[in-house]
Amino acid sequence: MEQVIQCLGAFLGCLGFSFVFRIHRRLDYVLIASFGGTLGWIVYLLVIPYLSNIMSSLCAMIIVALFSEIMATIFIVVGCFPIVPGKGIYQTMLYLISYDQKLFIDSLFQTVGTALALATAILIVSTFFKVIKTIKQKDDHL
């Protein structure tokens, strides 16, 4: 039941975030973008028992990036919203101003690792699609 509530929260969070990026002009785009974020969160919840937080974020972001490349690239901005390490950023700053050096370093590495995993996932998927596009263009010229 907790996972269902988390997925609903991811959907509603993405729904609200799509208004920030003015995707709200078309309701179907808002729903599609929110579904992409929810899909990423579902993948995250499915793999987190087996992988680390960083690897789970990588897997979830790969799915969001694939979804966004197939549907429309703008959806990646909304889709990554549930996966972004906001809590980690907050805790890192809290430990920094609290002078808790050990927790600060641990939280910093975890947060930066998650952020790098998200960027790497986007890089992998977008590069994959660019390679496919280049191959198709070369085949069309033959």
DSSP secondary structure string, 11-70?
HHHHHHHHHHTTGGGSHHHHHHHHHHHHHHHHHHHHHTTTS-HHHHHHHHHHHHHHHHHH
* pTM over the 0.85 mark: yes
pLDDT at 142 > cutoff 70: no
pLDDT at 72: 78
pLDDT tens for 39-89 read 999 999 999 999 999 999 999 999 999 999 998 777 888 889 999 999 999
The single residue listed with the structure tokens 């906001």 is 86
SS3 107: helix
Percent of the chain with pLDDT over 90: 71
pLDDT at 66: 95
pLDDT at 14 > cutoff 70: yes
The single residue listed with the structure tokens 């430990």 is 95
Per the document, the length of the chain is: 142
| Token digits of residue 93 | 């700053």
pLDDT at 76: 86
pLDDT tens for 17-29 read 888 877 767 788 8
pLDDT at 93 > cutoff 80: yes
pLDDT at 140 > cutoff 80: no
H or E segment at 3? helix 2-20
The single residue listed with the structure tokens 């280049």 is 134
